[in-house]
Amino acid sequence: MAFSVASSAAPQSQINITPLVDVMLVLLVIFMVTAPMLSRPLEVQLPQQALRHNPDTPTQLRLRVVGSDSYQLEGNPVSGRQLQQQLSRARMQSPAVQLRLSAAGQADYQQLVDAIAIARRAGLQQISMSAD
């Protein structure tokens, strides 16, 4: 039994473009479907700026947590009870009071949380933290 071995196949010199055409047609269909969606206008209602004749500048208070039940409000030392009274008084005078809170290096995290709780009980809504 003799088998004849065919001569080695010569490399194909032409590129098969059928898969390329298939991919291009799929992309064409995708773009044809999505193009109308992109051209639709998106309706957005932008907020209008209200003109104020007397802009209220919010009062800013600086509170520094120094130690255990020891605070400085605008540089004046106060206790926790005095702090709540003074913050409540400031809130009654100006509803838009902003409190800027900072902590000394030796202050604990719990003391900072207590200061935020005191400010919340006094009715302050805008409390920010700052690093000194």
Question: Where residue 92 sits, what CATH number does that domain have?
Answer: 3.30.420.270
Alpha-helical (H) ranges within 6-79 are 18-39
**Residues forming beta bridges with residue 70, ordered by sequence position:** 67
Q: Is residue 1 part of a domain?
A: no
Is the pLDDT assigned to residue 22 strictly greater than 80?
yes
Average pLDDT over residues 82-98: 89
Q: Is residue 47 part of a domain?
A: no
Q: Is residue 88 part of a domain?
A: yes
Using a CB cutoff of 8 Å and minimum separation of 24, what contacts does 67-75 make? 67/104, 67/106, 67/107, 67/111, 68/108, 68/111, 69/111, 71/115
Q: Is residue 39 part of a domain?
A: no
Strands 60-67 vs 70-73: parallel, antiparallel or unpaired: antiparallel
Average pLDDT over residues 76-102: 89
Q: Is residue 84 part of a domain?
A: yes
Q: Is residue 55 part of a domain?
A: no
Expressed in percent and rounded to 5, the helix, strand and coil fractions of the chain are: 35, 20, 45
Domain extent, residue 119, equals 60-129
Determine the pLDDT at residue 42. Answer: 65
What is residue 17's DSSP assignment? -
Q: Is residue 119 part of a domain?
A: yes
- Confidence category of residue 30, pLDDT binned at 50, 70, 90: very high
Q: Is residue 81 part of a domain?
A: yes
Q: What is the pTM of this model?
A: 0.55
Q: How many domains does the chain have?
A: 1
36-58 residue pLDDT tens? 877 777 677 777 877 665 555 66
Task: Estimate to the nearest angstrom the gap between the alpha carbon of 72 and the chain centroid.
Answer: 30
pLDDT, mean over the chain: 83
- Least trusted range by pLDDT, from 21-30, 46-55, 94-103, 105-114: 46-55
